[in-house]
Amino acid sequence: MEPCEQPPHSAADTLELPYRDLTVLELGHSVAAPFAGQILADLGARVVKVEKPSGDDARGWGPPFIDETSAIFQALNRNKQSIICSLRDADQVDALIHFIDAEVDVVIQNLRPGQVDDLGLDAKSLRARKASLVYCNMGAFGSKGPLKDRPGYDPLMQAFGGIMSTTGEEGRPSVRVASSIVDMGTGMWAVIAILSALQSRVATGQGSLVDVSLFETSATWMSIIAAQASVTGISPGRYGSGAASIVPYKAYTTTDGEVVVAAGSDSLFRKLAVALSRAEWADDKRFCDNPARVLHQAELYGLLDPIFATKSTSEWMASMEAAGIPAAPVNTVMQMLEHPQTAALGLIQTLPGCSMPVLGLPISYDGHRPVPRSASPVLGADTSSILDPYLSILQVRNNVPS
């Protein structure tokens, strides 16, 4: 593919990004820390990504590959600088510490448990040198408890946090949500925590240590379901595309695809009954209100499924919209990317120097979405300009006779 063309000039090109004076050190890999770093970079921060000599493992997570790196890596590392630092080399680590002392406002790290402590790159050591530093740990199981030293990955946390137990269809194996919702969610919580800490620093001049973890994110995504389980004392089952406490509220197979209809309130159910020429359902004691419909959902869905199977998705969409009933087609990823609504919002953006379009930051300021400034960095592209000067200073100091 040919490199992407530069986006046309617009007010977004000159948008004053809120964190343009912030320097962030991303001592991370894979998805969670890079996603947090990318959010801050999209908001204007200078984000310096520390990589081992062989690079972030995510560079090799493919196919597909684009511009000599994986599409996954491109999707998580735009607007950053890359430096190579061998964490087994004491001089390089020392130079990294001096860079932090001199230039860094925020450190994000998701290395294996205990590694930063062994290297002197932990929050206690760095904040003893620089009290204004905001330091964010992104662990697997959190900073306390019997599992605090265990590593973790998104599918493990979807399993451990209960998400997989409720995803899929009853009587069938557990299903992982395909998107890395725990990794990316943890990245979002990290940014929220960091920005809160920076706000406190404005008032006090002091940084702080913030902790987020994959498990805490996974558990928090379960808040609504956990509340229901706490009340009943029963772990909920799987409802496919539906919901445990709202009916009718699921996807139906049509002649050419699927359509989701969300008629969860009593008034919407009455509209649905009329739209389907089943007005009598609204007065049926089995379906007259949501608690009754939840109790009798097998019967109701048994009536609805064959009706929706008689027409196409577009026909049902037209019927539902005419009746004022919330509905959506089950789009493929490509259908979503090519939809006029996606285009109207400007969600798909080009990366300067990259052959792959990306989904931009889902935030706009005064109607303008931040524009990507650069593609993901070439491995170690900024080592000489960022880390080498500190390494040289330390070497000179070490060679001066006492």
Whether 361 and 370 have beta carbons less than 8 Å apart is answered as yes
3-state SS assignment for residue 255? coil
Cis bond upstream, residue 248 (ω within 30): yes
Give the strand pairing for 258-262 and 327-329. antiparallel
What is the distance between the alpha carbons of residues 115 and 137, in angstroms, rounded to a whole number? 12
Residues whose CB falls within 8 Å of the CB of residue 280, separated by 6 or more in sequence, listed in order: 273
DSSP 136: E
Positions marked active-site: 183
Asked if residues 136 and 107 have their Cβ atoms less than 8 Å apart, the reply is yes
Beta bridge partners of 327: 261
Q: What are phi and psi of 266, to 5 degrees?
A: -65, -40
Give residue 326's Cα distance to chain centre: 26
Per-residue HEC secondary structure of 47-106 comes to EEEEECCCCCHHHHCCCCEECCEEHHHHHHCCCEEEEECCCCCHHHHHHHHHHHHHHCCE
| Peptide bond preceding 306 in cis form (omega within 30 of 0) | no
